[in-house]
Amino acid sequence: MKLSAKQRIEQTALKLFADKGFKATTIRDICAKSGVSVALVHYHYKNKNGLYEALLDQVIGDAFDRYPMTDYLTPGMSAEQRLRQIIRLLLHRLIGGDGLGRDRSRVRLMARELTAPSPAFEKLFQRHIQPMILTMVDVVREFVGPREPAELIRIATSVAGQCLYPFIAHEVMSRSGFTLGKDREEIERHAQHIYQFSLHGLCGLKEEGL
């Protein structure tokens, strides 16, 4: 199917921003590779910041919308069920067949934002990342009880980090002897592993009062 001019802009911009970063990529680079005029980019997005923000929101939003939180977490679930489901949700959003990991350009773009945030990161964080963090904090609080906010974040990110690592460090893992595929069965198996590992850790924290 032939891409529209707008789709060509977005496809080209995604690859260039992922490969070169926001600062090193110019509108002229994008136009030259997508075969459109600078005026057309300005018409759709106003400027490079506008294009980048729209692209980032689209890339992250599309992946997250394909795996709605309400499909995984429902009222009345036990703490154990909520822990397992939030892990499943995060893994599918990151490396599922319709998640961010389906395209390496998306992975590189997200990795850049996490390690060297652009001006667009704040909106990305508030809309897509913070809700996941707050939900994870609520889940771990059910296991360990009231803690200082920073301590709850420490625990929550210890769980979330196990989901994030296969997404960010795919090459490191594969060269180390473990490759996590994108098919549902493999993701579910890995989610169960992270769940069991995290469950024992959370229960241990509660028992030892750490």
Q: Kindly state whether residues 37 and 137 are assigned to the same domain.
A: no
Which burial class, exposed, middle or buried, applies to 39 when counting CB atoms under 10 A from its CB (0-12, 13-18, 19+)?
A: exposed
Residue 114 lies in a domain: yes
Q: Looking at the predicted structure, is the pLDDT value of residue 188 above 60? A: yes
Give the pLDDT band (50/70/90) at residue 210: low
Residue 51 lies in a domain: no
CA distance 93 to 1: 27
Residue 54 lies in a domain: no
CB 94 within 8 A of CB 163: yes
Q: Mean pLDDT throughout 78-83?
A: 97
- Please, what is the end-to-end C-alpha distance for the chain in angstroms? 57
Q: Kindly state whether residues 38 and 123 are assigned to the same domain.
A: no
Q: Kindly state whether residues 27 and 102 are assigned to the same domain.
A: no
Q: Mapping DSSP to helix (H, G, I), strand (E, B) and coil, where does residue 57 land?
A: helix
CATH number of domain containing 201: 1.10.357.10
pLDDT at site 178? 82
Q: Kindly state whether residues 40 and 75 are assigned to the same domain.
A: no
Tokens 């977490």 sit at which residue? Answer: 73
Residue 83 lies in a domain: yes
CATH number of domain containing 42: 1.10.10.60
Q: Kindly state whether residues 25 and 91 are assigned to the same domain.
A: no
Residue 155 lies in a domain: yes
What is the number of structural domains in the chain? 2
Which burial class, exposed, middle or buried, applies to 138 when counting CB atoms under 10 A from its CB (0-12, 13-18, 19+)?
A: middle
Q: Kindly state whether residues 36 and 66 are assigned to the same domain.
A: no
CA distance 188 to 165: 16
- Which range of 46-55, 59-68, 102-111, 181-190 scores highest in mean pLDDT? It is 46-55
Residue 55 lies in a domain: no
For residue 35, the enclosing domain spans 5-46
Residue 128 lies in a domain: yes
Residues of the chain with pLDDT > 70: what percent? 99
Tokens 């390496």 sit at which residue? Answer: 104
The 10s digit of each residue's pLDDT in 132-171 is 999 999 999 999 999 999 999 999 999 999 999 988 888 8
